[in-house]
Structure formats: structure tokens, C-alpha cells
Amino acid sequence: MTPQEALEALKAAESRTLPLLALQTDPALQPREERMVPFRDKGRVGMRSEEHVGTLRLALEASASIELEPLLAAEIARPGDGAPAMFVVDGHHRLKAYQLAGRNTVPVRSIPMGHRLAVLASKLVNCTDRALEMHREQRLDAAWQYLAAMTRRGSSGLPEGESLRKIAGRFGVSRPTVDRMKAKLPQVNPKDYAPEAHDPGTGFPRWRYVREAGAGWQDMKQKMTPEQMTQHEAEKLARRIGALLEKATADAAKRAFEMLATEEKLAHINQDTREFLAVLQEPDEDY
């Protein structure tokens, strides 16, 4: 079964009501990787995601009889006992809305499939007919990972029924971009990239890191691992700053950064000078 056939089979499966607790999530099945979004867009993307969940939640809270579009889930056999576990392939925002609305059950369409097939199906479904569109960088990476999987990481041609044109259309990226991806595939050695740069579902480096090779991504492990918490905090701060900048005028943003830069410079001068400058800024009580 191809990823496209698996997705069509999922959509055609009979909907049934399941307990929320029966569903599991896996980062490998969530192609909306926030790290792929440039800092300047993180605030906007995060806000739209929260607003989307909020709208769905309001709909559910309006009436107990209202149900959202069924989630799509893969019944993946667990290692060891082989018993199937239900993993969400499409509908993570809807799942969160059901949770926030206090619902105990959720409508689901599911079929048995392997983990690899579920990963590729999740990339396909999130790039087509979405109420909440994926960021371009996320779509680019989904197309890259899909192309890598379909060509055995560039070692073979596309299987029958697939074409570069179809892949470009499915993921909403340009044909020249897909051509560049195909040409780049045989040159990529996953060992050249730190684990943090790999897609958790395919184990292959993400397109952004491959595309920007030479700009510092190869030494990501050395940069990130020892200071992982610092990096995490920096990303959150950059996202907040980005959200604030969207609401500010260009002049106000420029002045704010100048003020912060001035304070940063003052932090490096000696204590006596800082105290002297602080006195100068205090109001003179003799006047």
C-alpha cells in the first residue's frame, strides 16, 4: 500500500466513537514542527494555532451534540506483544479542542498500518485541504522527507504512479524546488548531521538544515546539546519578541532595540560608572 492509498483508505474508513484516552500522539506523526518556522513567523504561526484550537473548542462547547470532523488514526502494532495502539495521524488540533472542552470521547477513522506508512500519510494529509495551513518551511520539509522515502534517499527512481510534478502539487511547493531536492538527495549523508537535525519519523535530515549546509547547521550538536535549555529559552523569547514586533511600528521597534543595546553595553562597564550614570538620571531635588 502506498502512502496515498493509505490516506485514502483512512478517509474512507467508518467513523466510530472512541474514548479520548484510547488515542496516543507521536512527534513523528506531527509534521508541523515548530523548529522549521523562522523566528520572525513563530509568533504568528503559534497565535493562529491557538486561535484555531479555540474556535474548535467553542464549537464543541456550544452543544453536546456537535462533533468535529473525525480524527484519522493508525492502528500500529506495539513491539513485543504486537497489540495495536491507536496513534493520531491527522487531527491533533481537534484532539486538543476535545480535551479542552471536557469531552470524554471523540470520533475516529482508523485502519491498521505500519509506523513508516503512518509517518508518510501524516505528511501528505497535513499539506492538503487544511483549515489551518502549514507554514511554507513545514511543507517544504514534508515534501523533502516524502521524496527521500519514495526514492530510498535518492538511491532509486520514483515508484510507478509517482512523479515530481505530483509531489510538488500535493505539498504545495514549486516543481523547480522539488527538482533541486531530488538532485540533492544522493549527496546527503545523515551522519553529517546531529540527531536534532533529523526528522523523528524518517530519521533523515530536515530540508532546512540540508539547504543551509555551511551556515552552521552541521555543528548543531556542539551548539545545542551542552546548552539545550538555553537554546529552548532563546527560542521562546524570540517567538515572544516576534509577536510583539508584529504589533509595533518600525520606529518603535528600532528605538526599543537601541534601548536594549544601550543597557547591554552598560552591563559591561564597571560598577562605579554605572552608579555615576544612575545618579545623573535621578531628579535633582534642589530645583
pLDDT confidence tier of residue 268, bands split at 50, 70 and 90: low
Rg of the Cα atoms in the chain = 24
Residue 3's closest CA among 176, 148, 178, 138? 148
Better-scored residue on pLDDT, 264 or 125: 125
pLDDT at 279 over 80: no
What number is the average pLDDT over the span 175-201?
Answer: 92
Using N-to-C axis directions, what is the helix angle for 175-184 and 164-171, rounded to 10°?
Answer: 120
pLDDT tens sequence across 135-166: 889 999 999 999 999 999 999 999 998 999 99
List domains and CATH numbers for the chain.
Answer: 3-247 (3.90.1530.10), 250-281 (no CATH)
Mean pLDDT value across residues 9-35: 91
Which cell goes with 178?
522539488
pLDDT surpasses 90 at 175 = yes
Instruction: Give the three cell numbers for residue 16.
Output: 466510530
Identify the CA nearest to 153 among candidates 117, 190, 179: 190
Cell numbers linked to 275 = 552608579
Residue 214 pLDDT > 60: no
pLDDT tens digit string along 177-187?
999 999 999 99
Query: What's the rounded Cα separation, in Å, for the pair 251 and 257?
Result: 10
Q: Is residue 70 exposed (0-12), middle (13-18) or buried (19+ Cβ within 10 Å)?
A: buried
- Tens digit of each residue's pLDDT (9 = 90 or more) over 26-39: 999 988 877 778 77
Cα dihedral: 5, 11, 12, 16 (round 10): 140
Locate all alpha helices (DSSP H) within the chain, ordered by sequence: 3-12, 39-62, 92-100, 115-125, 136-150, 164-171, 175-184, 207-211, 220-224, 228-247, 250-266, 271-281
171, 146 Cβ separation under 8 angstroms: yes
Q: Give the residue with greater pLDDT, 79 vs 239.
A: 79
The 10s digit of each residue's pLDDT in 81-123 is: 777 899 999 999 999 999 999 999 999 999 999 999 999 999 9
Q: How many CB atoms lie within 10 A of CB 50?
A: 12
Question: Which DSSP letter does residue 198 get?
Answer: B
CB 49 within 8 A of CB 110: no
Integer Cα distance of 91 and 126 in angstroms: 9
Residue 217 has pLDDT above 50, yes or no: no
Cell readout for 262 is 544601550
Indicate the pairing of strand 71-77 with strand 84-90: antiparallel
Q: How many CB atoms lie within 10 A of CB 59?
A: 14
Report the pLDDT value the prediction gives residue 47, as an integer from 0 to 100: 85
Q: pLDDT tens for residues 44-70?
A: 888 888 899 999 999 999 999 999 999
pLDDT in tens, 220-260: 444 444 555 566 667 667 767 777 777 778 888 778 777 76
- 286 has a pLDDT exceeding 50: no
Please, which pLDDT band fits residue 13 given cuts at 50, 70 and 90? very high
Question: Which of the two residues, 81 and 203, has the higher pLDDT score?
Answer: 203
Which residues touch 141 (CB under 8 Å, ≥6 apart)?
A: 31, 33, 36, 199, 206, 207, 208
The predicted pLDDT at position 164 comes to 95
pLDDT at 272 (0 to 100): 57
Given a cut of 50, is residue 267 above it in pLDDT?
Answer: yes
**How many angstroms separate the CA atoms of 32 and 10, rounded?**
20
